[in-house]
Chains A and B, each alone.
Chain A
Amino acid sequence: MKNRKLLLENVHIPGIETYDVYRKNGGYRSVEKAIKSLTPDEVVEEVKKSGLRGRGGAGFPTGMKWSFLAKPEGIPRYLVCNADESEPGTFKDRYLMEKIPHLLVEGMITASYALGANTSYIYIRGEFMYILHILEKAIAEAYDNGFLGKNILGKGYDLDLFVVPGGGAYICGEETALLESLEGKRGNPRIKPPFPAVKGLWGAPTVVNNVETIAAVVPIVNDGGEAYAAIGIGKSTGTKLISACGNLVKPGVYEIDLGLSIEEFIYGDDYCQGIANNKRLKACVPGGSSVPILPHYLVTKTANGDDRLMSYESLAEGAFASGSMLGSGGFIVFDEDQCIVRNTWNFTRFYAHESCGQCSPCREGTGWMEKVLYRLETGNGNLRDIDLLAEINKKIEGNTICPLGDAAAWPVAAAIRHFRDEFEWHVSHKEEAIKRNYGLSKEPMLA
């Protein structure tokens, strides 16, 4: 079955962003079903059965995360939606929230009911201010129609939903930094333990889920967890939004069944339709800028010669030596003309800019890597620098408070692992490197 869509099925219906059209097309069924005929624990059970895994990048089973939520008496619980989507290459949540905001609102209500939260938040990236207005309109409509507020559907369940904009920091997509920011503080990740499931927002048990994860709760409750689990392959169940970008004929946001082969995704007529301008594939970052880059010979096939599939397991096959990660689904494709060194520098520049500066390895290490990569890219590096880079990222990895340090280290490690020759080229062909990067180098240009 091709082009099955659970989340984006109705996205092209005109006026779907309004309550009336959304409702007419089967919207808010999951809320009705959950509140009228299921207990909160039954909803959690459905999500567990569905095998849904967190769509924000880590891929942690959502049902398990929900069941970890501490439920002490007399203390409120919170559900927070992480809409701080700011990973380079990932733009699926933005698309979903912009086109079909009621799906997220519906998912929030159903999920909040399952977790017993009476106040929920959507923490949205500051740059998405226009989406904040779209969501607020959708929430207001949901209030007007009795799906939010006191005594929802007459069943005695109360829920207030708020959209809170952040200041546009990548680090606030880390769940504990998000909670700090939501509390009105500086967005620094917290020291764990305690985890948010025990002590989260304002010290109360909190679940933080990605936009797509929460939206996926809607079809799970509607059709049952088993139906959802039937889609996909192995432990990668359901559908996934992939935001494809780079040198593709048809980039964009696609909803795919997990387990689709990457070859089909890149070259298939229903998907990206191949590499633009009849160029050849050089490399691919399959899950957003934080995951290791794959050279062309490892994109469609794994090191064992099996077909590489769009699933958590298949992309991770070969671990970091010859694999990568599904991550958040930011699928970036490079054609033969792209420079890996420049791309790596660009990613690292992003992480150096976005590091919160709290713990030393990440604060100092990301900036250092950025400077060394800049030197290499602009033709001022030497061979020692390549080894230095490899060593710096080994020193950052695993020594930081939050995963941003790892996310900054992995792309550099992978780029050096697979494209060391390109780094060496920048050292041995300094003049060409400078010429090619006209406008980037601070050094005087060579004639």
Chain B
Amino acid sequence: MKVTIDDIEVEVEAGTSILNAARKIGGEVVPPAMCYYSKLPGTGGKCRTCLVEVAAGSTADPRPMPKLVASCSTPVMDGMIVKNKTSQRVHEGRSAVVEFLLINHPLDCPVCDQAGECNLQDLGYEHGSVKTRYEEERRTFDPIDIGDKIKLHMNRCILCYRCVEVANQLTEKRVHGVMHRGEHAEISTYIEHAIDNEFSGNMIDVCPVGALTDRTFRFKSRVWFLKPMEAECDCTKCAGKVVLWMFGKEIYRVTGRKDQYGEIETIDNKTAWICNECRYDKKDLAKWKVIGPRVIDRHSVISQGKYETSINSPIKKIN
């Protein structure tokens, strides 16, 4: 199927979403996604940051779609023409979504652990306004511990439901989910139950904001002071392919390997989720085989001036 996104044509399989078609092109035409996570079935459609304009539905029915559509959950049709960067409506719609996401989100990036690798921060730079128009009191929650290693700071949550889907995959007896409704909706574990699973730490990796953080790393360092190093180990539970965040010879934290869209990479046809032992308990360099520096392929302060970034390299052209 041929689909045109921002005047770039790309050939994709039937059933592909617009977002994934755009990712196939890469570069500037890819809409940002806060809730969609290609490795987690069931995610997507919620945050509305990936809204795009469909200027022509398909070759068979070239009428434009009246509303902006969520590119992550709308399948492409043959001959579809999509506008992302080139559409003023999309720009307005996305700014609206960013404003909505930020009205109740604390604007305290300087003290937030996620700063520097936060999707909402990036989005705010790109689409946000300088000043908030929200005069009311922001909604607040008390921080919750999900087990002894994960801290949930609900104030920062944007309710993307990614961590819920992680919990959904881990266990059938999920007690982690969304409670309440509307503005009062919150991620929580029912009566503070912890998720007892060896892979529960992956919730931290999928969180696009600073709502879920690693308690073994919280407030130890800013991420841009650390050097990310690719490393691996022989782990019986997971693939053991991780990124070590180091300062000198000291390991500050361990995360999965994220690609340019903030998703855990697929290595040998498997999503390289990492187990809790690798994440929390192997902070000793002797336990790892360090491969080399990790290229952060993402528009982020972490990659600033350190390694070659995709921003500096010319956009891939696909014809």
User: A residues bordering B, Cβ < 8 Å?
Assistant: 169, 171, 186, 191, 193, 352-368, 371-372, 375, 388, 395-396, 398-401
Contact = CB atoms under 8 A, between A and B. Distances in A.
A224 B69 CA distance: 41
B249 interface: no
Interface stretch (B100-108, B216-224, B272-280): B100-108
B134 interface: yes
B70 interface: yes
B68 A398 contact: yes
Contacts of A186: 177-178
10 contacts: A186-B177, A352-B182, A354-B181, A356-B181, A360-B47, A360-B101, A360-B159, A367-B182, A371-B136, A399-B68
A427 to B, nearest CB: 15
Contact of B47 (A193, A355, A359): A359
Interface in B90-123: 92-93, 96-97, 99-101, 103-104
Nearest to B160: A360
B178 A399 contact: no
Nearest to B93: A399
A186 B182 CA distance: 13
Contacts of A365: 100
Contacts of A361: 48, 96-97, 100
A388 B96 CA distance: 12
Given A352-B183, A358-B159, A364 B104 contact: yes
Given A191-B44, A367-B104, 20 more contacts: A169-B181, A355-B182, A355-B183, A356-B181, A357-B181, A357-B185, A359-B47, A360-B158, A361-B48, A361-B96, A388-B133, A395-B93, A395-B96, A395-B99, A398-B68, A399-B48, A399-B67, A399-B68, A399-B93, A401-B70
B32 interface: no
The 10 closest A-B pairs by CB, nearest first: A357-B185, A395-B96, A191-B45, A355-B182, A367-B183, A364-B100, A398-B67, A191-B73, A371-B136, A357-B182
Interface of B: 44-49, 51, 66-68, 70, 73-75, 92-93, 96-97, 99-101, 103-104, 133-134, 136, 158-159, 161, 177-178, 180-185
Contacts of A399: 48, 51, 67-68, 93, 96-97
DSSP majority for the A interface? helix
Contacts of B73: 191
A352 B159 CA distance: 16
Contacts of B68: 398-399
Contacts, number: 97
A401 B97 contact: no
A388 B131 CA distance: 14
Contacts of B182: 352-357, 362-363, 366-367
B45 A368 contact: no
Nearest to A406: B67
B183 A366 contact: yes
A372 B133 CA distance: 11
Interface of B is mostly: loop
Contacts of A193: 74-75
A186 B186 CA distance: 13
A168 to B, nearest CB: 11
A352 B182 CA distance: 6
Contacts of A359: 45-48
B133 A363 contact: no
A37 B132 CA distance: 67
Contacts of B66: 398
B46 A358 contact: yes
Contacts of A367: 104, 182-183
Contacts of A396: 96
Looking at B51, B93, B96, the one whose CB has the most chain A CB atoms below 10 A away is B96
B180 A401 contact: no
A364 B105 CA distance: 10
Contacts of B74: 193
A191 B45 CA distance: 6
B29 to A, nearest CB: 20
Nearest to B100: A364
Nearest to B104: A364
Nearest to A374: B136
Contacts of B180: 357
A357 to B, nearest CB: 3
Contact of B45 (A169, A362, A371, A401): A401
Nearest to B133: A388
A112 to B, nearest CB: 31
Nearest to A358: B46
Nearest to B72: A191
Given A388-B133, A399-B97, A357 B183 contact: yes
A393 B258 CA distance: 37
A375 B181 CA distance: 23
Contacts of A398: 66-68
Nearest to B136: A371
Contacts of A169: 181
Contacts of B178: 186, 357
Given A191-B45, A399-B48, A355 B181 contact: yes
A174 B310 CA distance: 43
B57 to A, nearest CB: 12
Nearest to B66: A398
Nearest to B158: A360
B46 A364 contact: no
- With a 10 A CB-CB cut-off, give which of B48, B177, B178 has the most chain A CB atoms: B48
A368 B103 CA distance: 8
Nearest to A357: B185
Contacts of A375: 136
A357 B70 contact: no
B190 to A, nearest CB: 13
A169 B180 CA distance: 11
B35 to A, nearest CB: 9
A192 to B, nearest CB: 8
